[in-house]
Structure 1
């Protein structure tokens, strides 16, 4: 039995439509992935900016706390405090560098290619890791100061109140 000529034309049309649909889906998927990267990068920018800007206050609070503990324990001019202050100064410089690495607050990634978005996300992650490390370090420092304060209070409670 012979196949009518129109069946081959239907097959050809179906193939062309399928190819066009596949190409459009591939293009649209690329657009959606770029949109996902832009949204993630914008979200990371906001979170990292908030974290880094909060470090200045945290380091200032840690400085005041450590100076108060040093005064209470009589270690104001000690090497213990001087070493800690030297490290604090280095960390303040690092925070200044992290602030300089942040993009402008209203940065737009609308026209950035995928490769730029990926590298910017990696850079933002590296900044976040450094900022988290500094934050954890000085939160631990404040906790240590609180523990030392508790020991000072316990040592100064009169014997009849213990």
Structure 2
């Protein structure tokens, strides 16, 4: 994991330790341990060997664009990139990438240890191979995948929750 803000690694570890008992009750993958988590303040170091990168920066389009461009530059060419966004279309996020075909919107619901659902939305440049790989990765960590086949404003699951709330 990476976050350049001061004290980020301490905050992350505190949050993980706080939520770990809940995750254990719900069931963890064999070999899962807090000690397996690594943290670096350097994005390049965090993504350089990753098979899949999940971007979760705040919903500021210029910030997402900057971070995704850096991820795209430093990541292995066969790595997939999932972007958690609440309203930016995948094709917009792909515009400045050298390898736009490997980006997919992957919007996990929170808290993931209670609601293991991720909505994935390919952009115009996303390949079928990227979509399938992303589905496999999220399913391998116990998440249910809601695959939205065409870009839409917002998210299907958010719309359903809003309708149920009313």
TM-score range, shorter chain: under 0.3
Higher alpha-carbon Rg = 1
- Greater fraction of residues in strand: 2
Report the TM-score when normalising by structure 1.
0.23
Greater RCO, CA 8 A, separation 6+:
1
Report the TM-score when normalising by structure 2.
0.22
- Greater fraction of residues in helix: 1
